[in-house]
Amino acid sequence: MTHNNARILIVDDEENICDILFRFLEHEGFLPVVAHDGQTALEMIRLGLPDLVLLDVKMPGIDGMEVLRRAKKLDTNLPVIMITAWGGIDGAVRAVKEGAYDYVGKPVKKKELVAKIKQALKERGPSLGKRRTCDEGQNEAVARLQDMMGPSDAVRRIVTEVALVAPSNFSVIIQGQTGTGKELVAKAIHEASLRGQAPMIPVDCGAIPETLFESELFGHEKGAFTGAVSGKNGKFEMAQGGTLFLDEISNMPLNSQVKLLRAIQERSFFRVGGSKPVNVDVRLLVATNDDLQGSVRAGTFSRDLFYRLSEFTIEIPPIKKRKEDIIHIANRILQATNEELAKSVRGFSDAAVQVLLGYDWPGNVRQLRSAVRRAVLQAEDWIMPAHLILEDTMESRHKPAPKPSDAGEWNGLSLKEIVRRTTAEVERAALTEALRKAGGNKAKAARLLKIDYTTIHAKLKQYGIKMEGEGEDGS
């Protein structure tokens, strides 16, 4: 085995140290992964994921020496290189006596580190056959995610994290703005997991009225409530043996959060109106565009549920921070739209590329998809800037309500009609702004406006208001 496909686990509680080592090792051709605490590192080692470990001596919780001792019990042939401040060299020497391969001091000398890593991997030799690897289907799922999301460093890191966590049974929080591709990441984790042949059942927590939440998750028995004319299986039962994907979980009512936590811990639940427990084996993946830790502090999200779900977290940056991905995704959408429309648009002009790269894309991939599809529909040869209709070019479609100084626009109207039109424009503007602030999340927008979900859904339909690309892929 050459070092080019060797997976190096970096274990350090200091994020800046991990980031520096990650970038350096990736540049050197290794496949680095990161754990910020000893417990996470040990779980990764138990799964057989790393070929070598770079381990900080001093960490809160389980320190480096204890991680070393447990790691050697899990894999006696696993090379561990200790990282320590120069004042801790004596401890690193003791670690070598207890089974560490070698040690390096901080600040790390990069050439020295690479030399020791290569030598350790060379000496490990045949024992690398014990390394856990994804099968062909799992590799395809991870490769497909990379192709869908782009070539940026951020995506490479996401893909590495997906490959790392997929074979485990960890619950995963996928965090990012609306339209960044959270559901794509969830599907890749599921498909690359040992549960890939079982179903993945998605649940949009922002689209379920609070009164129906428990019935949707856990099902109900006949006669459990008015309208329950027959029994119904919930999403948990539908996901048996597979994955339950809870999208926008921050919208889940607190009462339902408590029952979800109990179901996860006990691997069983009661249907609404039921008296017999239903046993389930389900993996949980959740997505959110909110800061769940902030929601915990605000008292709107269960602290215990957060700790139970946050065994592993994947952050997806907005595409405005992934410039390398914008053109990659745009070209993929262009090709797909060409096939759909039986057209042969050749690509984006240089000026159009600059427009794509210079825009902020508040709707992320969903908005980009809609913009490119419209452009392909209009273009004949190359897509030009005029073909790219973006949010700031559409403002003229929604004129503000007339002001008293514009009385000429009110000629011939009764006071009642003037009030009706003005009220409608104000209502439209309030709904649009709330939806924008909520990142397209209707349930969150309803809370901002202090109305219920049914009302906001009806109002948005009445005024024809929707986020860019609503209904398209890229949650």
Q: Are residues 125 and 106 in the same domain?
A: yes
Q: Are residues 97 and 148 in the same domain?
A: no
Which of 130, 149, 173 is the last residue before a domain boundary? 130
Judged against a pLDDT cut of 50, whether residue 472 lies above it is answered with: no
Q: Write the pLDDT tens digit of every residue in 369-384.
A: 999 999 999 999 999 9
pLDDT of residue 190: 94
Q: Are residues 76 and 192 in the same domain?
A: no
Domain assignment of residue 450, given as a range = 400-463
Position of tokens 């790392």? 164
Least confident segment among 116-130, 170-184, 377-391, 459-473: 459-473
Residue with the bigger pLDDT between 398 and 251: it is: 251
Q: Is residue 472 domain-resident?
A: no
Q: What does the pLDDT average to over 236-257?
A: 91
Q: Are residues 454 and 308 in the same domain?
A: no
Residue with the bigger pLDDT between 96 and 187: it is: 187
Residues 94, 98, 99: CA angle, nearest 5 degrees: 120
- pLDDT class of 138 with cuts at 50, 70, 90: low
pLDDT of residue 346: 92
Q: Are residues 287 and 326 in the same domain?
A: no
Q: Is residue 32 domain-resident?
A: yes
Q: Write the pLDDT tens digit of every residue in 78-94.
A: 999 998 875 556 666 77
At 64, which helix (H) or strand (E)?
Answer: helix 64-74
In whole angstroms, give the CA distance from residue 8 to residue 26: 10
Least confident segment among 102-116, 221-235, 260-274: 221-235
What is the CB neighbour count within 10 angstroms for residue 390?
A: 20
Which of 103, 130, 157 is the last residue before a domain boundary? 130
3 state DSSP class of 51: coil
The domain that contains 340 carries what CATH number?
1.10.8.60
What is the CB neighbour count within 10 angstroms for residue 123?
A: 11
Q: Is residue 36 domain-resident?
A: yes
Judged against a pLDDT cut of 70, whether residue 167 lies above it is answered with: yes
Q: Are residues 386 and 404 in the same domain?
A: no
Judged against a pLDDT cut of 60, whether residue 135 lies above it is answered with: no
Position of tokens 């398209």? 472
Judged against a pLDDT cut of 80, whether residue 319 lies above it is answered with: yes
Q: Is residue 473 domain-resident?
A: no
The domain that contains 48 carries what CATH number?
3.40.50.2300
Compute the chain's Rg from CA coordinates.
27
pLDDT of residue 434: 84
The answer to whether the CB of 9 falls within 8 A of the CB of 50 is yes
Which of 347, 364, 393 is the last residue before a domain boundary? 393
Count of domains forming the chain: 4
Q: Are residues 121 and 149 in the same domain?
A: no
Q: Is residue 474 domain-resident?
A: no
Q: Are residues 149 and 298 in the same domain?
A: yes
Q: Is residue 475 domain-resident?
A: no
